[in-house]
Amino acid sequence: MIMVQSTFHLAADTKSEAIELMKNMVRLCRQEHGCLSYEYFEGVTDTNQIVLLQEWEDAECLQGHYQTAHMEDFLGKLGNYLEREVVTRSYASHDEPRASSPASEEPAKSEQTIH
């Protein structure tokens, strides 16, 4: 699974227009092949900061998402609403359970990654 986190800093005077654009992206992206989740979140202390969290089955699905017409349209309009550059980070998760040790009766603990 691929997880992507993008942080947007919206201009206060056009924030409502940007939110409508983002709502449309949620609707369209959730219909795409391989989209596991796609949602925007507003900052608690800075309400003009919006974080997008998205999860995709694999890198191929994510690359397909980047090639869609609605992504091209979104990117073409997004600059009108930003105060600064978008910061994006991607993470890969290997959701395979670890085998427990034969010498132990306890199940194996999952690994944790801190970013």
> Which pLDDT band holds residue 93 (cuts at 50, 70, 90)?
confident
Fold of 2-92: Alpha-Beta Plaits (3.30.70)
Tokens representing 98? 């670890």
> Which pLDDT band holds residue 97 (cuts at 50, 70, 90)?
very low
Share of residues in the chain with pLDDT > 90 (%): 80
The residue ranges of every structural domain in the chain are 2-92
**Rounded Cα gap, residues 92 and 1, in angstroms:** 6
Sheet hosting strand 35-42, strand order edge to edge: 35-42, 49-56, 2-9, 87-92
| Alpha-carbon distances of 15 from 24, 43, 49, 68, rounded to whole Å | 14, 13, 10, 24
Residue type, 25: M
pLDDT at position 94, please?
79
